Every structure is written in C-alpha cells, then in structure tokens.
Homo-oligomer: A and B are copies of this chain.
C-alpha cells in the first residue's frame, strides 16, 4: 500500500476538517478552501480516493474517511510530528520553522525509518506545538486542555499547546516569553474587549488580546503533573 504525495495531502486535509466538524462529512468546498485548490479538482480527486476505499463519498453530500483512510491519515500525522520533534530537538530549529519541512518529510516512506526515528527521539508523546504524536499502533493521548480565554482567573496554569500554528503567532509568543511548559496565571478578564491580564512565574503582569488567549491551550498546574 502506498499513495502519492497529493493523495496523502488530501487525506490529511480531510482528517483535519473532520476533526473540526465533529466527524460530520467534509464538503467539497471546505476541502477546496483548505487546500487552496479549485472545487472541480477536489471532486476529481475524491472520486479516486473513494475508488481506493480511503473515503466514503456520496455525491453532493461530502466525504468521510474509512477505517483505512483514518489509519493512513494518523500515520501521516505521526510522521509529521516526529519529524517536527527531530527538527527542533536535534537540529535546533524554532517551533515556527519546522512545519514546512515536516510537510515534506511526512511523505518519506519506510515504516522502519519512522519507528527508529521515534526511538531515537525517546518516544515523544507531543510535538513542538503540543499536539499528540500517535504511537506505532496509531494510538495517542489527548490532553484535557482548554483555551486560556476559557479558564477562571486566580489559579496557575501550564501552557500545553497552541491552536494557531502560524509563524506570526508563534513568534509573538516567543516575544512575550511564552513557551510550552510555561507557568501562566490569569489575573482578570477585561469585559470591554475580552482581553486578559496574566503573569508568568515571577514576571510582571501584562495583557493578552482575546485572540491571543483563544489560541493558547493550557491545563491546570496540578492536573498537568499527573500526565
């Protein structure tokens, strides 16, 4: 079993949009927008993927991954995230630089390569953005994390992930001194624009916009230690 880079990119996109839509069928236009491709091209490709039993496709109703499609998409995500860890941990790239390269590396074939890379990296469970890495059997641990914008002030939280992977956002966090594992304490939410006053361990207080707080995922500090 092996698929083209293009086919694999479709599988990943369908997986991503499925997650967002709570497993409801993914519509042609959504896929077209996500992949920056004409809707007509998507229609073509999903017919081919359906023939290969990677997705179920009902005309005008959208597509869903089959078990096989799920498995393959998960495998691609495993590869992508392991390579991201490699680029950061071993080659010293920053968390806003690794995505593009991993986007290529995820298509390199070789199960043995993936498993040895996993071992070399010490079987990491999360990637540089806090996203879980599926293991050899396609299983992964989801964390009970929430956007910082949703939590109650007056308690310490640990930064465990980001929802926005854009370079600008990640560099903005760097600028603020916020990284995965940072201890952050929300002080108050300002009703006017929903911005949030927060402070990092031993640091001065500062303000985060609603948008910035929405995309920052945190866990309560005591819960985190059990993970």
Contacts and interface: CB of A to CB of B under 8 A. Distances in A.
B116 A91 contact: yes
A62 B73 CA distance: 44
Nearest to A5: B5
Copies, count: 2
A147 to B, nearest CB: 32
A108 interface: yes
Given A100-B110, A104-B110, 10 more contacts: A91-B113, A91-B116, A91-B120, A93-B112, A93-B116, A101-B108, A101-B113, A104-B108, A104-B109, A105-B108
A11 interface: no
A138 interface: no
Interface residues on A, range: 10 to 19
A212 B105 CA distance: 36
Nearest to A110: B101
A120 to B, nearest CB: 6
A209 to B, nearest CB: 31
B110 A91 contact: no
Contacts of A105: 108
Nearest to A90: B120
Nearest to A117: B91
A156 to B, nearest CB: 36
A87 interface: yes
Interface in A63-111: 87, 90-93, 100-101, 104-105, 108-110
Contacts of A93: 112, 116
- State the 8 A-B residue pairs at the shortest beta-carbon distance, nearest first: A91-B116, A104-B108, A101-B110, A101-B113, A91-B120, A90-B120, A105-B108, A91-B117
